[in-house]
Amino acid sequence: MSIFEYNGSALIAMVGKNCFAIASDRRLGVQLQTIATDFQRIYKIHDKVFLGLSGLGTDAQTLYQRLVFRHKLYQLREERDMKPETFASLVSALLYEKRFGPYFCQPVIAGLGDEDKPFICTMDSIGAKELAKDFVVAGTASESLYGACEAMFKPDMEPEELFEIVSQALLSSVDRDCLSGWGGHVYVVTPTEVRERILKGRMD
């Protein structure tokens, strides 16, 4: 199994009407053995920008710490929060710095930009940005996730419906993957609130 499949992960970010949802599985494993069922993959950078990191767990944690550091410096200098587009460029640059010894992570960035317009993007492990208008996925179950999202996605969904769709897509995809699953973690973000929910999934 490749290094990206060492820990196992599944991530989705999906766009709704003036809102977005970002969801991940909760398993941390060492190849086939499950070590933890409450591993955090989605991090809040600030109220309107969320970062999900799939791939090798240690690289995900280190990369997150570096990004938080850079964002805090930005906040001190500019006296404001980073826009999601800017944050995506920051992640991309940081990943490309390590072009010949990369972080084995695939980030998923989701945020509310100017006028609370939802923004999502994903990157490969060396920083190639991929912007999307509907959904982005990452992780060991990514092929199943693409299929499930493609089938279930509708434009302009309200937050409640978006939550349902994202949860169903995540759970049905990880049920076809040995290396991810064991529950789900979903954040639905609107301009006024952030709702965090834990999903009850198959624990096998």
Partner 1 sequence: MMKLDFSGLESASSHFHGVDSELVEGLSRAPSFEIPNTTNFDGFQKEAIQMVKPAKGTTTLAFIFKEGVMVAADSRASMGGYISSQSVKKIIEINPYMLGTMAGGAADCQFWHRNLGIKALKKECEIEYINFLTYPMGEEFIGISHMFRCRLHELANRRRISVTGASKLLANILYSYRGMGLVGTVLPYYVDSEGGRLKGNRFSVGSGSPYAYGVLDSGYHYDMSVEEAAELARRAIYQATFRDGASGGVASVYHVGPNGWKKLSGDDVGELYYKYNPITPRMVEQEMAEAAEP
What does 101-138 look like in DSSP terms, one character per residue?
S---EEEEEEEE-GGG-EEEEEE-TT--EEEESSEEEE
How deeply is 31 buried, as exposed, middle or buried, from its count of CB atoms within 10 A (0-12, 13-18, 19+)? Answer: exposed
User: Per-residue string for binding with partner 1, 88-127, x by CB under 8 A?
Assistant: ----------------------------------------
User: Per-residue string for binding with partner 1, 168-187, x by CB under 8 A?
Assistant: -------xxxxx--------
**Residues contacting partner 1: total by CB under 8 A:** 19
Q: Select 107 or 201, whichever has its Cβ closest to partner 1.
A: 201
d(CA 50, CA 27): 19
- 3 binds partner 1 per the rule CB under 8 A: no
Q: Select 74 or 146, whichever has its Cβ closest to partner 1.
A: 146
Q: Select 59 or 177, whichever has its Cβ closest to partner 1.
A: 177
- CA-closest candidate to residue 11, choices 121, 158, 152, 131: 121
Strands 28-30 and 33-36, sheet pairing: antiparallel
d(CA 34, CA 120): 30
Q: Select 79 or 204, whichever has its Cβ closest to partner 1.
A: 204
By CB under 8 A, name the binding residues for partner 1: 1, 5, 8, 29, 31-34, 140, 175-179, 200-204
